[in-house]
Amino acid sequence: MVHYKNPLLVLGCVPEWRDKILLCRRAIEPRLGFWTVPAGFMENGETMQQAAARECYEEALATVEVGSLLAVVNVTRANQVHVMFRAKLLEPQFAPGPESLEVGLYDESEIPWSELAFPSGEYTLRQYFADRSAGREEHHFTELTSRAKP
């Protein structure tokens, strides 16, 4: 087991198509069966934006154009930094990748808030919808210190 002294970057995005956003239901642990925005560990040789787009393709077989910075979540208890962008689906085509059970486009009123996999995803979506209602595109920092719900 490698002991990392430095935090790992997790990159993700909120892919939008018209007024809906794309969510994935996880086919793997942790949090199998719960919902998430497409996100995963950044790899060597890619930019943050490329990592966010790659994760979206891997988890939802969807091609996106990555937009503005949305959220930076310092998950200090897990030694991770989650960086989330806005993104636009280039066409309404998607399907579950190997790590997803189900993928779909949802209205704000349909978001399964009580079945989201991770607190960073919930924070990201709350900021996304708050900014969208206010007609702005800002970025938001937070720190999450507590563990995810069991």
Q: Which residues of this chain interact with a copy of itself, rule CB under 8 A?
A: 2, 4-9, 41-49, 69, 72, 74, 76, 79, 81, 139, 141, 143
Query: Toward a copy of itself, which CB reaches closer, 19 or 143?
Result: 143
Tokens of 138: 């800002």
Nearest distance, CB of residue 63 and a copy of itself, angstroms: 20
Nearest distance, CB of residue 57 and a copy of itself, angstroms: 18
Q: How far is CA 68 from the centre of its chain?
A: 14
Query: Toward a copy of itself, which CB reaches closer, 46 or 115?
Result: 46
Nearest distance, CB of residue 136 and a copy of itself, angstroms: 14
Are the beta carbons of 112 and 70 closer than 8 angstroms?
no
Tokens of 53: 């787009």
Within 10 A of 65 (CB to CB), how many other CB atoms are there?
13
